[in-house]
């Protein structure tokens, strides 16, 4: 069975500082993808960043970067220069490339404080 675990229910960070959200996962597949999604109060789920498991290089998207540790099955998200608009729920997700399944962790509620 595939699982995604986020052990930090809530995090807070001061504006302009850096925060790291943790995620671990379990899968028996070799070919999979990992994602971080942002869900603001409006409920619209938005893709923040993605990582292909076969790529060793960590993905980056502007202020967002990941630390992908395949052997440890760890996939953390770093947000640099945090902005008030980053306040949201963040979900880690695992995509199975064979069946196309997409499963989510429990989420981390991030608050960026002025």
Partner 1 sequence: EAGVAQSPRYKIIEKRQSVAFWCNPISGHATLYWYQQILGQGPKLLIQFQNNGVVDDSQLPKDRFSAERLKGVDSTLKIQPAKLEDSAVYLCASRRGRGWVNTEAFFGQGTRLTVV
Which residues make up the interface to partner 1 (CB under 8 A)?
Answer: 4, 6, 32-33, 35, 42-47, 50, 52, 91, 95, 97-107
**Distance in angstroms (rounded) separating the CA atoms of residues 24 and 102:** 15
CB of 112 to partner 1, least distance (A): 19
**Distance in angstroms (rounded) separating the CA atoms of residues 33 and 113:** 32
Which tokens hold the place of 5? 């675990």
Question: How many Å from the N-terminal Cα to the C-terminal Cα in the chain?
Answer: 41
CB of 72 to partner 1, least distance (A): 21
| 65 or 96: CB nearest partner 1 | 96
| 4 or 79: CB nearest partner 1 | 4
């Amino acid at each position: 069975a595939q699982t995604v675990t986020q052990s930090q229910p809530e995090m807070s960070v001061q504006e302009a500082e850096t925060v790291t959200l943790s995620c671990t996962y379990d899968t028996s597949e070799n070919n999979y993808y990992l994602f971080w999604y942002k869900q603001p109060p409006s409920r619209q789920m938005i893709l923040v960043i993605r990582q292909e498991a076969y790529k060793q290089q960590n993905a980056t998207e502007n202020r967002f970067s990941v630390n992908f540790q395949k052997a440890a099955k760890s996939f953390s998200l770093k947000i640099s220069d945090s902005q008030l608009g980053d306040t949201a729920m963040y979900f880690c997700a695992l995509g199975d490339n064979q069946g196309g399944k997409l499963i989510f962790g429990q989420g981390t509620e991030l608050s960026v404080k002025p």
